A and B are shown apart, each in its own frame.
Chain A
Amino acid sequence: MNIACRLTATIPEDLPGSRFAQLHRSTCLKCQAEEARQRALLRELAALRSEHLVAPPMVHARVMARLGRQDEQARLSRSGWRVVGGSIAATAIGAAAVFGGMARRRARVSG
């Protein structure tokens, strides 16, 4: 294989130098044969697209089981926050009532 053929084979398409490769290929039978083999490979690769594998049945089952657990955890943590939030609110209301009462008592004493 001469240097021009080797260069042509190593230059990726659409990159600097590909114009040279194109010109060389148009006059070199060896490189044209190479290009034909390359096209055949690309056809074979594209044909793989139509192949379909069947996912193991446990994939669906496990995904749905994990979703169930995730949602349950999310629900628990949300309700946990509601409980915590509720007790914080109750504490705040209680504290406000105590302080309010104290303030009212203080006002009655001083008044």
Chain B
Amino acid sequence: MIPPQVQSDERTLVERARSGDQAAFSELVWRHQDAMFTLATRLVGPDLAPDVTQEALLRAWRALPKFRGEARFSTWLHRITVNAAWTQRKRAARHEAVPLIEDTHEDTAPGPEFAGEMVDVRAGLREAIESLSDGQRAVVVLRDVYGWTNQEVADELDITRTTAKVRLHRARMKLREILEEAS
């Protein structure tokens, strides 16, 4: 539960960012980048997650004038992250994984110090999720980890609700298989 003061503070920041205030957007990036990075890591793994997070934040900045506040800002950012992850995943699948970062003078490969820190250990489950196919992983992460509805998952991944349900079922079975084999 977000305290009302923080919510109204965030609304002000979003309003300012919508009108082009970069300082306000910078503050919003600080607040939301970890959650977006976490989701991106779950969807595409730690190597592509920094690129996906950056791309999602840039897309958010460009789309901000169209943000009307119907959904919570964090939900809106999550959707953009899923879209960016999907784009990046397709690109990687075509073996055209071009880094989204333009700067070439720096080493853009995420080193271990930037790989993110897990605050808990559920390595087996995380590894099992990573070994799912892209489609199954996306469904299981959005539905079972993030609690989206089947309809929201279907809309976001551009599949039918039935496909989402079938894919979810198969993903869960596969997870159990992997976990049972490992134990």
**Residue ranges of A at the interface with B (Cβ–Cβ < 8 Å):** 9-15, 37-38, 41-42, 44-60, 62-64, 66-68, 70-71
* Residue in B closest to A57 when the chains form the complex, CB atoms: B114
Q: Which residues of A contact B145 (CB under 8 A)?
A: 45-46, 48-49
Query: In the complex, what distance in Å separates the CA atom of A54 from the CA atom of B115?
Result: 8
Query: In the complex, what distance in Å separates the CA atom of A70 from the CA atom of B102?
Result: 12
Q: Is B147 a contact of A67 with CB atoms below 8 Å?
A: no
Decide: A60 near B29, CB < 8 A? Known: A53-B118, A67-B22: yes
The binding surface of chain A is classed by DSSP as helix
Query: In the complex, what distance in Å separates the CA atom of A70 from the CA atom of B62?
Result: 10
A15, A57, A58, A68: the one within 8 Å of B22 (CB): A68
28 chain-A/chain-B pairs, Cβ below 8 angstroms: A12-B165, A14-B150, A41-B172, A41-B176, A42-B172, A44-B125, A45-B144, A46-B147, A48-B122, A52-B119, A53-B34, A53-B37, A53-B41, A55-B36, A55-B37, A55-B53, A56-B37, A56-B50, A59-B53, A59-B54, A60-B30, A62-B101, A63-B58, A66-B58, A66-B102, A67-B22, A70-B61, A71-B20
Q: Which residues of B contact A12 (CB under 8 A)?
A: 165-166, 168-169
Decide: A46 near B144, CB < 8 A? Known: A15-B162, A57-B114, A58-B50: yes
Q: Is A42 a contact of B29 with CB atoms below 8 Å?
A: no
**What are the nearest 8 A-B pairs in CB distance?**
A56-B114, A53-B116, A12-B169, A55-B37, A45-B144, A55-B33, A53-B38, A63-B57
Q: Which residues of A contact B169 (CB under 8 A)?
A: 10-13
Query: In the complex, what distance in Å separates the CA atom of A91 from the CA atom of B25?
Result: 41
Q: Is A67 a contact of B25 with CB atoms below 8 Å?
A: yes
Decide: A56 near B58, CB < 8 A? Known: A15-B166, A41-B172, A41-B176: no
B128: min CB distance to chain A, Å:
10
Q: A38-B172, A53-B34, A64-B29 are in contact. List 17 more A-B contacts (CB 8 A).
A: A11-B169, A12-B165, A41-B176, A45-B145, A47-B122, A49-B145, A49-B147, A50-B120, A51-B119, A52-B34, A52-B35, A52-B38, A53-B41, A53-B49, A53-B117, A59-B53, A64-B22
Which bracket fits the contact residues of B? 35 or more
Q: Which residues of B contact A68 (CB under 8 A)?
A: 22
**Residue ranges of B at the interface with A (Cβ–Cβ < 8 Å):** 20, 22, 25-26, 29-30, 33-38, 41-42, 49-50, 53-54, 57-58, 61, 101-103, 110, 114-120, 122, 125-126, 140, 144-147, 150, 162, 165-166, 168-169, 172-173, 175-176, 179
Query: In the complex, what distance in Å separates the CA atom of A111 from the CA atom of B81?
Result: 75
Q: Is A41 a contact of B175 with CB atoms below 8 Å?
A: yes
A89: min CB distance to chain B, Å:
27
Decide: A14 near B34, CB < 8 A? Known: A37-B176, A45-B140, A67-B22: no
